[in-house]
Amino acid sequence: MKLLLDTHLLLWAAGQPEHLSAAVRAVIDDPQNELFFSAASLWEIAIKNALGRADFRADPRLLRRGLLENGYRELAVTSEHAVSIDLLPTLHKDPFDRILVAQSIVEGITLLTADPMVAQYPGPVQRV
């Protein structure tokens, strides 16, 4: 299964695995799953880390390298993703979460999230 991890899951998987349930760790560790991260997540981390947000303390360059070295595939943000945002209901105003949802819909990749707001979006979004 193709899985796109949201930003917090990426941060937790890379540096705070204790925040992940055993079930999520099993999904991430399953070699049959193809794991993706979005360029939008690294953009979000870079911005929020620079703003001093404690929950986004990570070097996005090191995180990217680590994700790639651990078999994750990078998903670029395309214009098709960007224009698909207008089809989403206005459940949530966070632009980073909205682009991740749009990417999951356009690409047919299941978005894994721990955020109950994001999990309310239609499409291939799964709360873990």
Q: What pLDDT does 56 receive?
A: 87
For residues 81 and 14, what is the distance between their CA atoms, to the nearest angstrom?
Answer: 26
For residues 64 and 66, what is the distance between their CA atoms, to the nearest angstrom?
Answer: 5
The structure's pTM equals 0.94
For residues 78 and 75, what is the distance between their CA atoms, to the nearest angstrom?
Answer: 9
Q: What pLDDT does 111 receive?
A: 98
Q: What pLDDT does 128 receive?
A: 93
CA 85 to chain centre: 16
Report the sign of the C-alpha dihedral through residues 83, 106, 120, 59, in that order: negative
- The per-residue pLDDT string of the chain (128 residues; one tens digit each, 9 = 90 and over) reads 999 999 999 999 998 999 999 999 999 999 999 999 999 999 999 999 999 998 888 999 999 999 999 999 999 999 999 999 999 999 988 999 999 999 999 999 999 999 999 999 999 999 99
